[in-house]
Amino acid sequence: MKDLILITAYCNTPDKEEILSGLVNDCQKVKDSFDIMVVSHSVIPSEIARKVDYALYDKKNELLYDWDMRSKPWFSPDNIREILSIFTGSFNTHLADWRLIMLGNSLARTLGYQKVHRLEYDVRLNNFDEFFANSLLLDEQDTVLYTLKHNETVDPIMFGSYLAYRIDTLNSFLYTLDEEKIKEMIKSSDVKSPEDMTDKLLSEGKRVVRKTTEKLFDGNKFMFSHILNTRTDAAWCLPYYDELTQKLCFIIWNMEQETKSISASVVYNQKDVHTYEVQPGHWNITELDDYENAKELIVILNGKIRNHFKFDEYRNEFKEASFRRAQSHI
């Protein structure tokens, strides 16, 4: 039986649909060896659906806004004491993402597929060598994972845009849709990283091969939808509580290496104003005040209000949602 290429997607704009269409067209080159399934939270255009073997539209696309359900990524300036914060975004898409993966895996299992190559939709493929190589590995192994290192200030993480795994040895969590169980998993996770949670589900008790991304990236483009982002936003533009100094601090990090500068201002307690112009690849940290004195903070990014914090409404909760560790855990 052929392997299955499982594409998960949410294409709510014509530009994103065009990217998905490009990936599906790329996959036509290997139709003799791989079947194609698209599972999407947006309606799949008929011209795309006709080119794949299975097209599944899942209307439900629930976003998670509660503080204890949102991702808490981390950044370690100068590799000294990590900063963790949920305020790099305003919601969590994990539940919606898990639904697509689980629905695809469940259907693949029902149809009798043995090997799945899961792709996010924002990919363009010209070189399928790693797909064929991984198919051979999955004759003896359960999972093939890739490790990605973004830059020198961030530790390597599991690369989530492409995963290869066997269906018959797959953790049942990944093909049995249980939304309450998903939410509990997210709540109980420390940093709530989808890569970390996926890694554990695919690797614990399994036979795993881990690779670096060099060969996978050869001739291929991943996270292609980033070209649609005008970079008027910045994930790391937020306040945090410093556990060591008990200060309220503010960090802005222009983490992209090839973008324009980022302009931001913060208004603290309705009187103190700080302005920033941060060049690509640079970050800035400001120590604002003792946290006990903090009442209000308005964050303005590129001329628009990004966040408005009122600390008396959630003083203790904020210290758990956005903080810098007293000691490094690296």
Buried b (16+ CB within 10 A) or exposed e, 254-263: bbbeebeebb
Decide if pLDDT at 175 tops 80: yes
Tell which wins on pLDDT, 190 or 177: 177
Residue 108 lies in a domain: yes
Residue 217 and residue 247 share a domain: no
Decide if pLDDT at 329 tops 90: no
Residue 91 lies in a domain: yes
What's the pLDDT at 229? 47
Task: For residues 213 and 204, give the distance between their C-alpha atoms in angstroms, rounded to a whole number.
Answer: 21
Any idea which of 41-45, 126-130, 230-234 has the lowest mean pLDDT?
230-234
Residue 145 and residue 37 share a domain: yes
Decide if pLDDT at 231 tops 90: no
Residue 149 and residue 16 share a domain: yes
Of 89, 215, 239, 90, the C-alpha closest to 162 is 215
Residue 152 lies in a domain: yes
Token couple for 131: 């797909």
Residue 214 and residue 249 share a domain: no
The CATH code of the domain that includes 262 is 2.60.40
The CATH code of the domain that includes 12 is 3.90.550
- Tokens 């903090």 correspond to what residue? 294
Of 155, 146, 147, 152, the C-alpha closest to 73 is 155
Of 65, 81, 62, 82, the C-alpha closest to 73 is 82
Residue 144 and residue 251 share a domain: no
pLDDT grade, residue 328 (50/70/90)? Answer: confident
Residue 60 and residue 41 share a domain: yes
Residue 173 lies in a domain: yes
Instruction: For the chain, report the end-to-end CA distance as a whole number of angstroms.
Output: 44
Residues 6+ apart with CB under 8 A from 309: 239, 296, 297, 298, 299, 318
Tell which wins on pLDDT, 152 or 320: 320
Residue 243 and residue 218 share a domain: no
Residue 184 and residue 118 share a domain: yes
Mean pLDDT of the chain, nearest integer: 91
- Which of 226, 248, 275 corresponds to the end of one domain? 226
Residue 330 lies in a domain: no
**Total domains, the chain:** 2
pLDDT grade, residue 256 (50/70/90)? Answer: low
Residue 106 and residue 236 share a domain: no
Decide if pLDDT at 150 tops 70: no
161: phi then psi, degrees, rounded to nearest 5: -75, -20
Residue 50 lies in a domain: yes
Residue 311 lies in a domain: yes
Residue 254 and residue 151 share a domain: no
Distances (CA, A) of 167 to 111, 143, 144: 11, 10, 13
Task: For residues 5 and 33, give the distance between their C-alpha atoms in angstroms, rounded to a whole number.
Answer: 10
pLDDT in tens, 48-93: 999 999 999 999 999 999 998 888 888 888 778 999 999 998 888 8
Task: For residues 104 and 121, give the distance between their C-alpha atoms in angstroms, rounded to a whole number.
Answer: 14
- Tokens 């976003």 correspond to what residue? 63
- CA 73 to the chain's CA centroid: 10
Any idea which of 76-85, 201-210, 222-231, 252-261 has the lowest mean pLDDT?
222-231
Decide if pLDDT at 151 tops 70: no
Starting at the edge strand found earlier in the chain, the sheet holding 322-324 runs: 74-75, 83-85, 322-324, 236-242, 247-253, 283-290
Residue 329 lies in a domain: no
- Which of 226, 260, 288 corresponds to the end of one domain? 226
Residue 172 and residue 254 share a domain: no
Residue 113 and residue 195 share a domain: yes
- Which of 226, 251, 271 corresponds to the end of one domain? 226
* The overall pTM is greater than 0.95: no
Decide if pLDDT at 154 tops 80: no
pLDDT in tens, 274-313: 999 988 888 999 999 999 999 999 999 988 999 999 999 9
Of 11, 1, 112, the C-alpha closest to 55 is 11
Q: Which residue range forms the structural domain that includes residue 256? A: 231-324
The full 3-state SS of the chain, as one line of letters, equals CCEEEEEEECCCCHHHHHHHHHHHHHHHHHCCCEEEEEEECCCCCHHHHCCCCEEEECCCCCCECCHHHCCCCEECHHHCCCEEECCCCCCECHHHHHHHHHHHHHHHHHHCCCEEEEEECCCECCCCHHHHHHHHHCCCCCEEEEEECCCCCCCCEECCCEEEEECCCCCHHHCCCCHHHHHHHHHHCCCCCHHHHHHHHHHCCCCEEEEECHHHHCCCECCHHHHHCCCCCCCEEEEEEECCCCEEEEEEECCCCCCCCEEEEEEECCCEEEEEEECCCCEEEEEEEEHHHCCEEEEEECCEEEEEEEHHHCHHHHHHHEEECCCCCC
Tell which wins on pLDDT, 281 or 180: 180
